[in-house]
Amino acid sequence: MAAVEAGKCALVLVDMARDFVEEGGFIASAGGPEYREKANAIIPPLAKLLDAARKAGVSVVYSTDCHTPEDSELQKWPPHSMKGTEWSEIVAALAPQSGDLVIPKTTYSGFQSSDLEDQLRARGIETLYITGLHTDCCCRHTSGDAFQKGFDLVWVTDALQAFSDEAHEGGLEYFKVWYATDPARQFKTSDQVATDWA
């Protein structure tokens, strides 16, 4: 396998806001205790990836819901991760650091409602490591847009989650069917990715 060019890679954390993870947030409360356990379980692998990315020179990108009352998504879902509230903040264990890109979004995919693509292109990013919540929704839409815009994709399987194991597995299968060109290379665990970057 060819060596990974860290400078052309970005670790993308989708929707790791407090609303999606912590009790009291709309999404986390709607999902219930089992969901919150699943969402919290991806924090240690993500923390490991953040550390490895920053050491290797891989760009770190937070693509996170930050809604206003006018957003079209709120025609479908109740208010969540609202701009200016603590619920739109990144969970403390994964807090952004200087040099990271924090790019608020108002749609499932950050490519639709932010300058995510421009910021990635400006850094010369070619490969996106997709992580976060939820495998079958925002991560899926982000992946679809990225694939169609020509980015190479890697899905970090233990750093993604959904409301249920079935939804998570279904999301991974969807990636494999529609977007993956080399599944053996494109589906990895956080340990494998950290080793590649090292």
Task: Give, in order, the Cα–Cα distances in Å from 70 to each of 50, 54, 79, 180.
Answer: 33, 36, 10, 35
User: Rounded to an integer, what distance in angstroms lies between the CA atom of residue 144 and that of residue 124?
Assistant: 20
> What does the pLDDT read at residue 196?
96
Question: Which one, of 4, 138, 14, lies nearest residue 76 by Cα?
Answer: 138
DSSP state of 132: E
> What does the pLDDT read at residue 3?
80
User: Rounded to an integer, what distance in angstroms lies between the CA atom of residue 33 and that of residue 144?
Assistant: 30
Please say whether the dihedral angle defined by the alpha carbons of residues 164, 167, 192 and 47, taken in this order, is positive or negative. negative
Average pLDDT over residues 131-147: 98
Q: Are 176 and 32 in contact (CB under 8 A)?
A: no
Domain ranges of the chain: 6-197
Q: What is the pTM of this model?
A: 0.97
Q: pLDDT tens, 8-62?
A: 999 999 999 999 999 999 999 999 999 999 999 999 999 999 999 999 999 999 9
Q: Does domain 6-197 have CATH number 3.40.50.850?
A: yes
Q: pLDDT tens, 151-180?
A: 999 999 999 999 999 999 999 999 999 999
pLDDT surpasses 70 at 2: no
User: Rounded to an integer, what distance in angstroms lies between the CA atom of residue 195 and that of residue 3?
Assistant: 11
**Residue whose pair of structure tokens reads 């739109």 in the numeric block:** 88
Query: What does the block give as tokens for 118?
Result: 């421009």
